Structure formats: structure tokens, C-alpha cells
Amino acid sequence: MDYIITFLGANPGWSWMIVGAVLFALDVMAPGFFLLWFGAAAAVVGLIVFVIPIEFTWQVLAFCGVSVLSVLLGRALWGSNRDGVSDKPLLNQRAKQLIGRNCVLATSIQSGRGPMKAGDSLWSVKGPDMPAGSSVRVVDADGTVLIVEAAG
């Protein structure tokens, strides 16, 4: 064990390469795509140290600088959602996904409120009083309450 520590202390380029490999491995095990850039930065610093032996303080500063550059480069080249527009804008808004859908009331709407089954869920609805069996169209959503009107 002492031999390994002595070797790595005498060869900082290999130390940075090992740090890079560990960060790559952690990126594979961790969710996301983030540690990859720090692993790449460590590998670059390892290569720099192989070519130009520099003090440890400058190695750490180089790692910080290359890390920032690699993260920015990675986000520019492979960053998700560069234009800010989602391909599924209603993914986590189930009530809004139902807007425009026609449903049949299982029970009546009384005093402007009632339940309605849409898909496999029971929803609270607001709308004009209607008897059970009426066909309604979802026109809006207020939180988890669907706003309905008579389907025509």
C-alpha cells in the first residue's frame, strides 16, 4: 500500500487519471450526466501534468478551470432543451391533459359541482347542473378540478 501512495505522490499525472476514472465510473452509477465533465477535466489535467510538471496548487486551479469549461462545453453541445420548449409540456399536468376531451357524467352535477370519471380516475368537476348520463366536454382545469360544459 505504501508503494501505491509513494507512486501516486511521485506521479501526479496518474493520480489525476485515476480521479478521472473514478468520476467516470460514478457518472455511470449516478443518475444524470454530470460527473462525466469533471472526469474529463481530471483526465485533461492529468495529461497536462504528464507534459508540464506543475505544482499541486496550480493543478487544482487547472482542474477548476477545465471543469468549468468542460461543463459549459457539455451543456452547449449536449444540453437538453436548448430552446426552452418541451416536447411534452403537459407531462405532469394530468388535469390539463383532459382539456378538449368528451366524457359522460356517471353522477349528476348539482349546485355547480360533482364527480366525473375520466380514464381510470375520478375527478371533481365544476359546471352547469346536469343529470347523470349527460355528455360533457372539459374546457379548462383549475388545479385538479375540471371545468366542464355540455357537449354539443
Q: Which of 78, 103, 120 is the last residue of a domain?
A: 78
CA torsion 14-19-24-28 (nearest 10°) is: 130
Residues of the chain scoring pLDDT < 50? none
The reply to whether 67 and 12 lie within a common domain is yes
Tens digit of each residue's pLDDT (9 = 90 or more) over 60-69: 999 999 999 9
- Give residue 25's pLDDT: 93
The reply to whether 71 and 135 lie within a common domain is no
Tens digit of each residue's pLDDT (9 = 90 or more) over 69-87: 999 998 888 776 556 677 7
The reply to whether 18 and 63 lie within a common domain is yes
Could you list the residue range(s) of the whole structural domain that residue 45 is in? 2-78
- Which among 144, 116, 142 is positioned nearest to 130, based on CA atoms? 116
The one-letter code for the residue type at 145 is: V
- Give residue 42's pLDDT: 95
Instruction: Give kind and range of the element (H or E) at residue 44.
Output: helix 35-51
The reply to whether 12 and 46 lie within a common domain is yes
The reply to whether 44 and 108 lie within a common domain is no
Question: In 20-52, which positions are buried (b, 16+ CB within 10 angstroms) versus exposed (e)?
Answer: beebbeebeeeeeeebbbbbbbbbbbbebbeee
The reply to whether 136 and 101 lie within a common domain is yes
**CATH number for 135:** 2.40.50.140
- Give residue 80's pLDDT: 63
- Which among 58, 134, 124, 127 is positioned nearest to 94, based on CA atoms? 124
In a domain, 84, yes or no: no
Spatial contact of 136 and 103, defined as CB atoms under 8 Å apart:
yes
The reply to whether 25 and 56 lie within a common domain is yes
In a domain, 112, yes or no: yes
The reply to whether 65 and 113 lie within a common domain is no
- Give residue 81's pLDDT: 59
The reply to whether 15 and 60 lie within a common domain is yes
Could you give the number of structural domains in the chain?
2
- Give residue 135's pLDDT: 92
Q: What are phi and psi for residue 147, nearest 5 degrees?
A: -100, 125
